[in-house]
Structure 1
Amino acid sequence: MGFYQFKRSQKIPASIDEVWDFISSPANLQEITPDHMGFEITSGELPEKMYPGMIISYIVKPLMGIPMTWVTEITQVNDKSYFIDEQRVGPYKIWHHQHFIEPIEGGVLMSDIVSYQPPLGVLGSIMNSLVIRKKLEEIFDYRVEAVNKRFGTFK
């Protein structure tokens, strides 16, 4: 039963306020998620900004277009610094996603740490090696491009 971490960082040529306003708004989740994921928020009306205890439900189609429900809770928020979401219902046995931003010269460094455990024990570990890890890389590669499109490329 494997437990894994995925890390990604991106430099963004924008202010901490601009980046925080973008990443802390649930309405922007769809913009940074690949279309083929079939991502759809099903929570109904969401507030402009996330807050601790907030529950967000989605439909996603991560594999072969099969829809599944994913429910996350925003467990921690530190304004203009970080937030953490954790899966409550979904495909993983454990999903803990830390989103950090910090000012750097010329912009903001945005970093993510995703700690996760696939279901199904050894089979989940095999699936991680064959599919899951690659899917995460693909999703975060898309997000880098979407953020670059919105804010520009860091020089």
Structure 2
Amino acid sequence: MPSFTLERVVAASPEQVFDLSLDVGLHLASQRSHGERVASGRTSGLLGDGEHITWSARHFGVRFRMASVVFDVDRPRRFRDRQVRGPFGSFLHTHEFEPVDGGTLMRDTIRFRSPLGPLGRLVDAAVMRRHLMRVITERNDAISAHFG
């Protein structure tokens, strides 16, 4: 299954970065360029353990819906979210937060698989990995800017 990890040091405490990473408003603001909105679930505030949310956004000129659940919450160290319904054959995002000099090392590990077998593997290799890295980087830019 394709995967990637992005790391960034954010000038804030692990608790602050952890909480902002679960904030619906921050997520929506960071994905404004994709027309992201909440299709169902919490529309503001912090997502909690076991909470479901459905995002709607435009990628590659097509509007997609992705229903996710937040789980494995261990504040302020880690939480995960995974797709329960949506465009991917599989999608798991692990968020980790580690105190370091100057703030918090924020680590995002994404494991994903597009549907459609061999065709999906081609899409993953040709465009999806790079696209998802841009999407997560946009989100992380917004988190950094909040504390900058």
Compared CA separation, residues 130 and 111, structure 1 to 2 (3 A) = same
CA contact (8 A) 1:51 1:76 kept: no
Counterpart in 2 of 1:49? Answer: 46
Structure 1 segment 2-151 matched on structure 2, within 5 A: 3-33=1-31, 35-46=32-43, 48-64=45-61, 66-151=62-147
With normalisation by structure 1, the TM-score equals 0.87
Larger strand fraction of residues = 2
Normalised to the residue count of structure 2, the TM-score between the two structures is: 0.91
Indicate how the Cα distance of structure 1 residues 137 and 45 shifts in structure 2: closer, same or farther if over 3 A, else same. Answer: closer
Answer yes or no: is the 8 Å Cα contact 2:90–2:113 preserved in 1.
Answer: yes
Rounded to whole Å, the distance in 1 between the matches of 2:114 and 2:141 is 26
The CA distance in 2 between the partners of 1:73 and 1:56, in whole Å, is 7
Identity of aligned residues (%): 25
Compute the RMSD of aligned alpha carbons: 1.6
| Unaligned runs of at least 5 residues, structure 1 | none
Deviation at 1:91, TM superposition (A): 0.9
- The residue identity in structure 2 corresponding to 1:143 is R
Instruction: State the shift of 1:47 in Å.
Output: 6.4
Q: Which AA in structure 2 matches 1:148? A: S
